[in-house]
Amino acid sequence: MTELIDKYNRHLNYLRISITDRCNLRCLYCAPGGLVPKLAHEEILRYEEILRIVRIGVSLGISKIRLTGGEPLMRAGVYEFLKELASVGGLSDISLTTNGVMLGENIEKIEAAGIKRINISLDTLNREKFKYITGYDRFDQVWAGIEKAYAHGFDPIKLNVVALKGYNDDEFVDLAKLSMTYPFHIRFIEYMPIGNALMQSDDYILAPDIQSRLSVLGDLVPVKRKRMDGPAQRYRFKDARGEIGFIQAMSRHFCHTCNRLRLTANGQLRPCLLSDKQLDIRGPLRNGCSDDELKAVFFRAVRYKHESHHFAPGSSSGVDDPMSGISG
């Protein structure tokens, strides 16, 4: 089998797929100002188109899929699509990222579709702050969904915490404590300036600072990495049921281990989240291209994958597209 290997000898076996740009929250770091232009219905990839792209990817060595948005659970027909995706041979790992708003009422459907792993965005445990960060008073709804996913045996449940100075940095210890009470993976994510955001260096909270704050809970013991692991540096407190992870896009670039491509909601194949470079795969699909022609789009995307991104706190990423819809 011909595999996707870039010029830096990185084996690309992971495809993140945004199935919609729609969302039922308006988070400060994703939709600043609350308004993000929406894609027209005909611009968004149809489910059968996504499945064909996935099958082509599998033939080239893709074995891990993560579905994102927007909020993927908002898209009509998503549960039947999940079942079809889970039936694709050659995939060893299918997971779902959600904001949790619709999780509780649909957990049985997700489970029935064959999804075992869920990532949930949760930046705060405070209801008022949740409303301020997301624009909606839905913390209780999200937490109920997390509890229900846990009761249904989803494992691991990963809670993604974007580190936001002045918003949730006073809660890092409380969020980390969840890994002691539950077998959750709490992942602290350094804020990335996507969509022309420009933050000053003193606006960022980087992983070393977060680790220092968590030291009041004891020593963080490194967890041995697995072959299909993502970019998080994994740790565990002694006797904790869960884990702590740090995704250090700013303070410790993990580009040298990057194994992923991204498929946007409107059918663009992106070699890197932190670059606007993308290749159109929707156009060839709808113009009746062959499987070999679709494979060629994958190989072109691999050739455009850079060795590393070059931004740091206080600089712009150069990415103009909003996070919603680009499979962040």
| Structure-token pair, residue 154 | 């989803």
User: Where are the alpha helices (H) located in 74-206, listed in sequence order?
Assistant: 78-86, 103-112, 127-134, 139-151, 172-181
| Structure-token pair, residue 248 | 């250090």
| Structure-token pair, residue 9 | 């000898």
Residue 257 pLDDT: 81
Residue 228 pLDDT: 72
Handedness of CA 70, 71, 76, 77 (dihedral sign): positive
Q: Is 52 exposed, middle or buried (0-12, 13-18, 19+ CB in 10 A)?
A: middle
Residue 308 pLDDT: 78
Residue 198 pLDDT: 43
The tally of CA atoms less than 13 A away on the side-chain side of residue 60 is 27
| Structure-token pair, residue 130 | 């949740």
Angle at Cα 187 formed by Cα 29 and Cα 210, nearest 5°?
85
Residue 289 pLDDT: 97
- Residues of the chain short of pLDDT 50, as ranges, are 196-201, 317
Cα separation, 160 vs 195, in Å, equals 20
Residue 327 pLDDT: 55
Residue 178 pLDDT: 98
Question: What is the phi-psi region of residue 9: left when phi exceeds 0, alpha when psi lies from -120 to 50, beta otherwise?
Answer: left
pLDDT tens digits, 6-43: 999 999 999 999 999 999 999 988 876 666 788 999 99
Residue 89 pLDDT: 96
pTM of the model: 0.91
Residue 197 pLDDT: 47
Cα separation, 278 vs 260, in Å, equals 14
Amino acid at 216: V
Domains and CATH numbers, the chain: 14-303 (3.20.20.70)
For residues 239 and 183, is the Cβ–Cβ distance under 8 A? no
Q: What is the 3-state secondary structure (H, E, C) of 171-228?
A: HHHHHHHHHHHCCCEEEEEECCCCCCCCCCHHHCCCHHHHHHHHHHHCCEEECCCCCC
Question: What is the phi-psi region of residue 181: left when phi exceeds 0, alpha when psi lies from -120 to 50, beta otherwise?
Answer: alpha
What number of H helices and E strands is found in the chain?
9, 12
Of 19, 27, 44, the closest CA to residue 99 belongs to: 27
